[in-house]
Amino acid sequence: MSLRSSSSRLLARAAPSKAAAAAAAPRAAAPSVAATARSINTSSSSSSSTWANVATKPSAQRLVSAVRTFSTSSSASADFESPFGVNSLSKYTEEEEMLREAVQRFAQDVVAPKVEAMDEAEKMDPEIIKGLFEQGLMGVETSADHGGAGCSFTAAIIVIEELAKVDPSVSVLCDVHNTLVNTVIRKYASKSLQDKYLPQLSEKTLGSFCLSEPASGSDAFAMKTSCKKSADGKSWTLNGSKMWITNSAEAEFFIVFAQSDPAKGYKGINAFAVEKSMGVEIAKKEKKLGIKASSTCTLNFDDITVPAENLIGEEGKGYKIAIEILNEGRVGIAAQMIGLAQGAVDKAVRYAADRKQFGKKITQFQGMQFQISQIMMEIEAARVLTYNAARLKEEGRSFTKEAAMAKLFASQVAQRASGSAIEWCGGVGFTRETGIEKYWRDSKIGAIYEGTSNIMLETIFKLVEREMDLK
């Protein structure tokens, strides 16, 4: 089956299948140990007698016996499928599996041949962007009514991870467009704005998310970009600059955060849907260490007039939009980092398995085997953190701490994995011939954007402090 036909089968669906619906629906609350024990008692007489005997044993033995009872019950595994839905974070719905396969083919067939040239030129190939739209990968969560695929948040994470295995630059372009831009419009914009912009964002128009400024990085709400409502209330005027803005060179649509009244602090911040044609100036393009094909520019807003109806959400609630949406963005960056790590390791291990030294393949040396095993374990741990955060988000549960943990750990693993991959390949790994060194350069940004590592640590501790009632 061709990439196009396989992808279109998935992405043309207006509604998810029963399997997808089950994965996206909130999971039933986990039963208590007593309830589980009762279930086992009714399904197996041997389990019932074992459980009864456990009650008379000392506590340590009782625990061991209980575990054995649970694990050896013949009906337990069968009963587990139905009431709990998706049972592991590595189990995907039919649509998610199809999507992963389609993106893998697109990445290998379309993106891979252009990675080196794009990195050297520090420019995204327009055909790559066009291909992402044609494959339906730029409206993953957007409904079919607005030209999107109508898939889950986890589906978007799958897309980001698979693209990053081949090129993290392409991955972050897709990530920002899906998890930030599209999501803000879907969740917070008026119906008229959704009807106007979501079809464009699904089919042809690249979006950009504009929050950071020269003087407000981690302290994002110290922004200076201003917005002033007209006397008749029909428009807003924007003035100021934004910095470090991803997708900015190619984007035609921008979500811009601006301050209406500094005296109100964060409560004076608003979010706007801004078209490039309204007068957005694309200024300095940054020359970066990594993800060089992904554009990062300064934007200037000089008396730009934006219609009042382009205000996103309620007036003065822009800060809430930014805080909430960055949690989703962090899961996206975590997915980019685990994809990057996996891509680097896969290349390096295959090289090491082919190259011989001292009469043996490099991978036959125990020292190498231990290193590879350690990194593979860390990548899998980062993946579990990331997909757990994604599933929590889909269930409508709090995932702020989990998103911060996933983003922080995945960025750390990406640096270790890509650095180790270079060493495993020796001298050739240090050259640009294999492309492995590019993964290492690309990995560093994971510790910086969508919240620095220190911000992630602070976020995690604050939530742990609250959970433990330490204040």
| Separation between Cα atoms, residue 209 and residue 44, nearest integer Å | 57
CA neighbor of 87 nearest in space, from 42, 27, 33, 152: 27
Contacts of 51 (CB under 8 A, 6+ apart): 37, 40, 41, 66, 69
Number of continuous H segments (helices) and E segments (strands) in the chain: 19, 10
133 touches 106 (CB < 8 A): no
Which run of H or E residues covers position 295? none
430 touches 437 (CB < 8 A): yes
Our answer to whether residue 450 is catalytic in this structure is yes
Which run of H or E residues covers position 310? none
Within 10 angstroms of residue 191's Cβ, the number of other Cβ atoms is 7
Tokens of residue 251, six digits: 């984007």
- β pairing state of 207-210 and 253-259: parallel
| Separation between Cα atoms, residue 99 and residue 306, nearest integer Å | 37
| Separation between Cα atoms, residue 161 and residue 332, nearest integer Å | 8
For 429-459, give one letter per residue: b (16+ CB within 10 A) or e.
beeeebbbbbbbbbbbbbbebbbebebbeeb
Helix-helix angle 168-175:436-443, to 10 degrees: 40
| Separation between Cα atoms, residue 403 and residue 459, nearest integer Å | 10
Chain-centroid distance of CA 340 in Å reads: 12
Burial class of residue 242, CB neighbours in 10 A (0-12, 13-18, 19+): buried
Burial class of residue 32, CB neighbours in 10 A (0-12, 13-18, 19+): exposed
| Separation between Cα atoms, residue 435 and residue 135, nearest integer Å | 26
> Phi-psi bin for 86: left (phi > 0), alpha (psi -120 to 50), beta?
beta
Q: What angle do CA 384, 90, 463 make, to 5 degrees?
A: 25
Annotated catalytic residue, options 450, 458, 465, 467: 450
CA distances in angstroms from 126 to 114, 161, 403, 410, listed in the order given? 11, 21, 31, 29
Q: Which residues are catalytic?
A: 450
